[in-house]
């Protein structure tokens, strides 16, 4: 069994109004030392696979096909043994 953790965020060049709003909220609570705040999704997918290479290929395809929209989103993932 393998476990993939996939992070999907908006591309750096794409505006992230949610992140910006959260940044303003944090600042108004007194947290002044903030750079960018970006918001994204975390997906955890368990795979009935043993071959890590193959798992990587499959997860990459899933991201491209469905999980992320490559026009506005970046994704990265790590795969570990369960």
79 closest CA partner among 4, 25, 1: 4
Cα–Cα distance, 54 to 2 (Å, whole number): 11
Q: Which is nearer to other proteins, 1 or 71 (CB)?
A: 71
- Minimum gap (Å) between residue 24 Cβ and other proteins: 7
Interface mask toward other proteins for 22-61; x: CB under 8 A: x-xx--xx---------x----------------------
Could you tell me which residues come within 8 angstroms of residue 38 by beta carbon, excluding any fewer than 6 positions away?
Answer: 9, 10, 16, 19
Cα–Cα distance, 63 to 19 (Å, whole number): 22
Q: Which is nearer to other proteins, 15 or 54 (CB)?
A: 15
Binding footprint of other proteins on the chain (CB under 8 A): 10, 13-18, 21-22, 24-25, 28-29, 39, 69-72
């Amino acid at each position: 069994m393998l476990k993939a953790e996939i992070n999907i965020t908006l591309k750096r060049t794409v505006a992230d109004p949610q992140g910006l709003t959260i940044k303003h909220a944090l600042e108004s609570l007194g947290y002044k030392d903030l750079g960018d705040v970006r918001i994204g999704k975390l997906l955890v997918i368990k795979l009935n696979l043993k071959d890590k290479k193959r798992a990587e290929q499959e997860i990459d395809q899933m991201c491209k096909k469905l999980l992320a929209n490559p026009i506005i989103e970046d994704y990265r993932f790590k795969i570990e043994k369960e």
